[in-house]
Amino acid sequence: MIALLLPAVQAAREAARRTQCTNNLKQLGIALHNYHDVVGSFPTSFWRNTSNTVGGPPDLTNRHSWIAMLLPYFEQKPVYDAINFSVGAGGPINSTAYLTQISALMCPSDPSPAQSTIPRADTGVGPKSDSGPKLDYLGCFGDNYNDDSTFLPFTSLPYTRDNGFGEKGTFTGIMSRSGGTTSIRDITDGTSNTFAVGETLYESCDWFTWANPNGTTAGTQMPINYKRITDHKQDASSLTDSYNWRVGFGFRSQHAGIVQFLFADAHVGGIKETINRNTYRWLSTRAGGEILSSDSY
């Protein structure tokens, strides 16, 4: 009897976890639109802001993620108020705020711990400057791809998109990894057909943590659930190592056969991992001019 009931119990638990994940994404969707109403654009990550060098190297000052900008809009204003935005996320004064674990940023189906057990790259957070709390939701910078076509599975992807993983002025999605912003009027492909935020697995990439501006965005240059990460050896050339940002900056989940996405109109949908690769890419671009039918995904 137990053997018969166990699969049903497990399925029910996963259904509940997926519902919670959906709710988390919806919260972020509401927050994004409330932020847009106030500021006039969607937030960005300020990675590589070199306008001020006070307090550290050029890219330390004013480095804050789009999630940090969004905190007051999904009931995390105390954390937001604790951040000193005159210094970067890696400033010691911000350590307490940036080590805060936020449940709305965690998918319950991801078995990763709430605080990293492996060194986080490039965060500047924590006693050893290599920590950070769990993050399972990444802003979509489009179909921009990495700096090495060796790791590119999409042979049809134009080489002109090799522009640094979604930098200002060249990113094709709605969320820049480096200082660019977009508004609803820029999404000419339609907000209901454009990804805003998608799922990841926290320990699939050493950069991921909501505290790190360089670890809060991803793109569709890699297929859904591409090369699930299994190693943590800081090997940037390995397809299965979490240190390889080229394959790491993609979307993946532990939900059976799907990855959940928040679209730019704030609805949430599960995208099958069997989706046509070009359709998947097209859903991530804000103004690609592609024609998508409702039954294509």
pLDDT of residue 154: 72
Closest to 71 measured CA to CA, from 63, 82, 57: 82
Residue 230 inside a domain? The answer is yes
Residue 296 inside a domain? The answer is no
pLDDT of residue 8: 56
- Give residue 252's domain range: 2-283
pLDDT in tens, 234-272: 998 898 999 998 889 999 999 989 999 999 999 999 999
Residue 297 inside a domain? The answer is no
Closest to 89 measured CA to CA, from 62, 115, 116, 57: 62
Average pLDDT score over residue span 29-38: 97
Residue 221 inside a domain? The answer is yes
Whole-model pTM: value is 0.90
Residue 290 inside a domain? The answer is no
Least confident of 10-24, 157-171, 211-225, 251-265: 157-171
Residue 288 inside a domain? The answer is no
As for how many domains the chain has, the answer is 1
Q: Is residue 109 scored above 80 in pLDDT?
A: yes
Residue 291 inside a domain? The answer is no
Residue 292 inside a domain? The answer is no
The contacts of residue 193 (CB under 8 Å, 6+ apart) are 263, 283, 292
Q: Is residue 54 scored above 70 in pLDDT?
A: no
pLDDT of residue 173: 92
Which of 56-70, 140-154, 201-215 is the most confident on average? Answer: 201-215
Q: Where are the alpha helices (DSSP H) in the chain?
A: 2-39, 66-70, 77-81, 95-98, 245-248, 277-283
